Structure 1
Amino acid sequence: MARAVWSRLGRILWLSCLLPWAPAGVAAGLYELNLTTDSPATTGAEVTISASLVAKDNSSLALPADTHLYRFHWIHTPLVLTGKTEKGLSSTIHVVGHVPGDFPVSVWVTAADCWMCQPVARGFVVLPITEFLVGDLVVTQNTSLPWPSSYLTKTVLKVSFLLHDPSNFLKTAVFLYSWDFGDGTQMVTEDSVVYYNYSIIGTFTVKLKVVAEWEEVKPDATKGVMQKTGDFSASLKLQDTLRGIQVLGPTLIQTFQKMTVTLNFLGSPPLTVCWRLKPECLPLEEGECHPVSVASTAYNLTHTFRDPGDYCFSIRAENVISKTHQYHRIQVWPSRIQPAVFAFPCATLITVMLAFIMYMTLRNATQQKDMVENPEPPSGVRCCCQMCCGPFLLETPSEYLEIVRENHGLLPPLYKSVKTYTV
Structure 2
Amino acid sequence: MLLTENIKGKLVFYQMEGNATYVRDTGELASEVPTETMFELFDPHQNLSKAKFTYTWDLGNGEVIQGTEPVVRYHYSASGNYTLQLKLGVNVTEFAPLRNEVYSINLKVLDAIKHIEMKGPSDYEVSQDSSLAFHVDGSPPMWVCWRFLPQCMPDMMGGCTLNMLYENTLQLNHTFTSAGIHCLDISVRNDISKLQSSFSVTVKRSSDHVIFILSSAAILVATFSFIAVIACRPRHHNRSRVIF
> Shorter-chain TM-score: which interval?
0.5 to 0.7
How far does the alpha carbon of each residue in 1:53-78 deviate from its partner, in whole angstroms, 9 at most, with x for none? xxxxxxxxxxxxxxxxxxxxxxxxxx
CA RMSD of aligned residues (A): 3.8
Deviation at 1:197, TM superposition (A): 2.0
Gaps of 5+ in 1: 1-39, 43-129, 217-224, 341-423
Aligned residue number for residue 194 of structure 1: 72
Task: Report the counterpart of residue 152 of structure 2 in structure 1.
Answer: 281
How many Å separate the matches in 2 of 1:274 and 1:329?
18
2:89 to 201, 204, 211: 211
Structure 1 pair 153–308 and aligned structure 2 pair: CA distance change class (3 A): same
Counterpart for residue 329 of structure 1: 201
Change (3 A) 1:169 1:184: closer
- For residues 272 and 154 of structure 1, what CA distance do their matches in structure 2 show? 22
Tell me the TM-score normalized by structure 2: 0.62
The one-letter amino acid paired with 1:324 is Q
Which structure would you say has the larger Rg?
Answer: 1
Cα 1:254–1:157 shift into 2, 3 Å: closer
Aligned counterparts of 1:41 and 1:292: Cα–Cα separation in 2:
40
The separation in 2 between residues aligned to 1:158 and 1:242, in whole angstroms, is 21
Compute the TM-score of the two structures, normalised by the length of structure 1: 0.39
Distance 1:147 1:288, change over 3 A: farther
Superposed counterparts of 1:298-313, under 5 Å: 298-304=169-175, 309-313=179-183
Aligned 1:112-191 pairs, distance under 5 A = 130=5, 133-142=7-16, 143-145=20-22, 148-149=25-26, 151-165=29-43, 166-168=45-47, 171=50, 173=52, 175-191=53-69
Runs of 5+ consecutive residues of structure 2 not aligned to the other structure: 213-244
The question of 1:262 aligning with 2:140 is answered no
- Equivalent pairs counted in the alignment come to 202
Cα contact 1:247–1:328 (8 A) shared by 2: no
Is 1:153–1:200's contact at 8 Å kept on the other side of the alignment? yes
**Which amino acid is 1:159 matched to?**
T
Out of 279, 293, 299, the position equivalent to 2:164 is 293
1:228 corresponds in structure 2 to 99
Q: Distance in 2 between matches of 1:41 and 1:257?
A: 61
TM superposition shift of 1:228: 1.4
Name the CA shift for 1:191/1:329 in 2 (closer, same or farther; >3 Å).
Answer: same
Residues 204 and 236, structure 1, Cα contact 8 Å, conserved in 2:
yes
Structure with greater helix percent: 1
